[in-house]
Amino acid sequence: MERTKYPSIKEKRLLEEFQELTALDSVSFHERRMADRLKEKLRDLGFAVYEDRAAEVYGSEAGNVYGSYPGTLEGPPILLSAHMDTVEPGIGKRAVVHRDGRITSEGNTVLGADDVAGIAAILEAIRAVRESGRPHRGIEVLFPVAEEAYGKGSTVAEYERLQAKEAYVLDLSGPVGQASLQEPTFVSFEVEFVGRAAHAGFAPEQGIHAIAVAARAITQIRQGRIDSDTTVNIGKISGGKATNIVPESVRIEGEIRSYVHEKALEQMERIREICERAAAESGAAARVSSRLHMLAYKVGEQENVVRRFRRVCSELAIPCVLTATLGGSDNNCFIQHGIRGIVLACGMNQVHSTEEFSSVQELVRCASIAAGLLMEE
Ligand SMILES: [Zn+2]
């Protein structure tokens, strides 16, 4: 990479740290080893470190890890964040660096670049900035647990501990330089259809066939891309006991995403009505429950948090692409707590699969961006 006004990233050190951290088992709710290691690293960097009580809330291993370090530039600190947990299969991971710079797992686990790529970039950026001796903003880091479980860690984070008003969440797949400014409302739902059991051979007319009721409802529910903002999916169905019993109960589970909060709620209402009507028509019952996991947000392109990112990309000659994602991240929680954040691509691809990969070049780019963000107004 060409010389810029930002400090240079030490590729070997970054890569070694990436390998060290991906080798730690850290599936959701089992982040103890990762938390301990990151606390140690932050302390070595001179950070004030704190771990909250998320472990008690969830009966899990570790809390969210916070670090803060004073800056020499004016203004509130900048928050950098990446989650500590991984999805499964995530036990016994080992990062293999190929000759062309591509990084993969050994093939039987995820790589865990989601989200160690973000963590490693943050740590290397901090080191580079500090070693340069140049002025930088105050630095806050937050490494949440259980992001992959609908952001459970960041949901219970102690936001009063954070002074930052702007955040960069390094947790997006795709080429580094991409940033997501928008996330959807996300609702999950579950419907249990309850009919009546009967012997399928001796007295089928005495039964109310829950599978048939569910099937009627499902064919009436619009699924897939409802409009440019909204998707609906029923992803799971279970029920029935045996081939000789008229099934008494069936459960379906699904989700709704929409960039427009009201549209998500509207879809949920429609699904509820369809299920209840289909059940009533057959003398069955439909128990509908839903949960709101995330609230839609949109950060404006003219907001400072975005403009700073653009300046850094342009200084580094990395193409900057502003997008929206129908996925979720810890940023959703940050926004609810008044922190304007955006989500940055950090060198992870084909995440949540054993095909997941990263590359040395992308890790370096991401760390360079993170360093730049700490040095800009
Ligand atoms: Zn992630």
pLDDT at 2 over 60: no
Residue 55: its pLDDT value, please? 98
Q: For 241-276, write each residue's pLDDT tens digit.
A: 999 999 999 999 999 999 999 999 999 999 999 999
Six-digit token string for 45: 């960097």
DSSP 8-state secondary structure symbol assigned to residue 213: H
pLDDT band for 377, please (50, 70, 90 cuts): confident
pLDDT band for 4, please (50, 70, 90 cuts): confident
The domain segmentation of the chain, as residue ranges, is: 11-183+296-375, 185-294
Q: Which CATH number fits domain 185-294: 3.30.70.360, 3.10.20.30, 3.90.1260.10, 3.50.50.60?
A: 3.30.70.360
- Report which of 65, 61, 36, 42 is spatially closest to residue 52, judged by C-alpha positions: 65
Residue 342 and residue 309 in contact, taking contact as beta carbons nearer than 8 Å: yes
CA distances from 98 to 24, 49, 104, 119 (A): 20, 35, 8, 21
Torsion of CA 342, 344, 350, 354, to 10 degrees: -100
Task: Measure 302 CA to ligand 1 centroid, in angstroms.
Answer: 26
Q: For 305-357, write each residue's pLDDT tens digit.
A: 999 999 999 999 999 999 999 888 999 999 999 999 999 999 999 999 999 99
Annotated catalytic residue: which of 17, 31, 85, 183? 85
Task: Measure 45 CA to ligand 1 centroid, in angstroms.
Answer: 25
pLDDT at 298 over 60: yes
pLDDT band for 373, please (50, 70, 90 cuts): very high
Task: Measure 285 CA to ligand 1 centroid, in angstroms.
Answer: 38
CA distances from 343 to 79, 95, 96, 269, 340 (A): 12, 24, 26, 30, 10
Residue 3: its pLDDT value, please? 67
Cβ atoms within 10 A of the Cβ of 302, count?
Answer: 7
Handedness of CA 278, 281, 282, 288 (dihedral sign): positive
Task: Measure 1 CA to ligand 1 centroid, in angstroms.
Answer: 27
Please give the share of the chain, as a percent, with pLDDT higher than 70.
99
The whole model's pTM is what? 0.91
DSSP 8-state secondary structure symbol assigned to residue 303: S
DSSP 8-state secondary structure symbol assigned to residue 145: S
Question: Would you call 147 a catalytic residue per the annotation?
Answer: yes
Annotated catalytic residue: which of 115, 124, 147, 248? 147
Average pLDDT, the chain: 97
> Rounded to an integer, what distance in angstroms lies between the CA atom of residue 221 and that of residue 154?
33
Task: Measure 113 CA to ligand 1 centroid, in angstroms.
Answer: 8
Task: Measure 142 CA to ligand 1 centroid, in angstroms.
Answer: 14
Task: Name, in order, each residue with C-beta under 8 angstroms of 100's C-beta and a sequence gap of 6 or more.
Answer: none
Q: Which CATH number fits domain 11-183+296-375: 1.10.3720.10, 3.40.630.10, 3.30.70.120, 3.20.20.70?
A: 3.40.630.10
Respond yes or no on whether the N-terminal peptide bond of residue 76 is cis (omega within 30° of 0): no
Task: Measure 117 CA to ligand 1 centroid, in angstroms.
Answer: 10
Residue 183 and residue 297 in contact, taking contact as beta carbons nearer than 8 Å: yes
Please give the share of the chain, as a percent, with pLDDT higher than 90.
97
- Count of CA atoms in the C-beta half-sphere (13 A) of 178: 17
**Which parts of 181-336 are beta strand (E)?**
182-183, 185-194, 198-199, 224-227, 230-239, 245-246, 249-258, 285-294, 297-298, 321-323
Q: For 191-229, write each residue's pLDDT tens digit.
A: 999 999 999 999 999 999 999 999 999 999 999 999 999
Q: For 19-37, write each residue's pLDDT tens digit.
A: 999 999 999 999 999 999 9
Residue 276: its pLDDT value, please? 98
Cβ atoms within 10 A of the Cβ of 72, count?
Answer: 10
Question: Would you call 44 a catalytic residue per the annotation?
Answer: no
SS3 229: coil
pLDDT at 79 over 90: yes
pLDDT at 234 over 90: yes
